[in-house]
């Protein structure tokens, strides 16, 4: 009965590779988000989708491309991975402006 789930939980890969992280929510929410938590624990918004439409696209390298196939899913594809992409990536969802619920995070390590 997980509300917001992410796969994989851990991802270890080499520089230059392409990888994807998947997120699913079963809360019936209309908005989904990707946040990045860096090594100093600072959390920052990357993208937000509302009803499959991109509404927030922060200053993120265009190697990062989100995709929302439907309201319940939001995926993040990263091309040409760099060392600085190592972080924990959190997916979240909300209904309108009400409280956001976060997934368990995906710890990405780029070697």
Partner 1 sequence: GIQVEQSPPDLILQEGANSTLRCNFSDSVNNLQWFHQNPWGQLINLFYIPSGTKQNGRLSATTVATERYSLLYISSSQTTDSGVYFCAASDTGRRALTFGSGTRLQVQP
Q: Is the dihedral of CA 99, 49, 79, 12 positive or negative?
A: positive
Nearer to partner 1, 37 or 75 (CB): 37
Give me 18's structure tokens: 């392409």
Residue 98 touching partner 1 (CB under 8 A): yes
Within residues 30-69, the interface with partner 1 by CB under 8 A covers 31, 33, 35, 41-45, 48, 50, 55-56, 58
Residue 25 touching partner 1 (CB under 8 A): no
Residue 28 touching partner 1 (CB under 8 A): no
Show the binding pattern over residues 69-88: x = contacts partner 1 (CB under 8 A), - = does not: -------------------x
SS3 85: helix
Question: Given the structure tokens 């509404």, which residue do they identify?
Answer: 55
Nearer to partner 1, 13 or 57 (CB): 57
CB of 60 to partner 1, least distance (A): 12
Give the whole-angstrom CA distance, residue 58 versus residue 60. Answer: 6
Residue 57: CA atoms inside 13 Å, Cβ hemisphere, count?
11
């Amino acid at each position: 009965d997980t509300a917001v789930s992410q796969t994989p939980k851990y991802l270890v890969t080499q520089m230059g590779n392409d990888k994807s992280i998947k997120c699913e929510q079963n809360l019936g929410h209309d908005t989904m988000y990707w946040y990045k938590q860096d090594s100093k624990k600072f959390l920052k918004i990357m993208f937000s989708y509302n009803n499959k439409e991109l509404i927030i696209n922060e200053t993120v390298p265009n190697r990062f491309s989100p995709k929302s196939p439907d309201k319940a899913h939001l995926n993040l594809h990263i091309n040409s991975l760099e060392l600085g992409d190592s972080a924990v990536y959190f997916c979240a969802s909300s209904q309108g402006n009400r409280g956001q619920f976060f997934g368990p995070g995906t710890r990405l390590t780029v070697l």
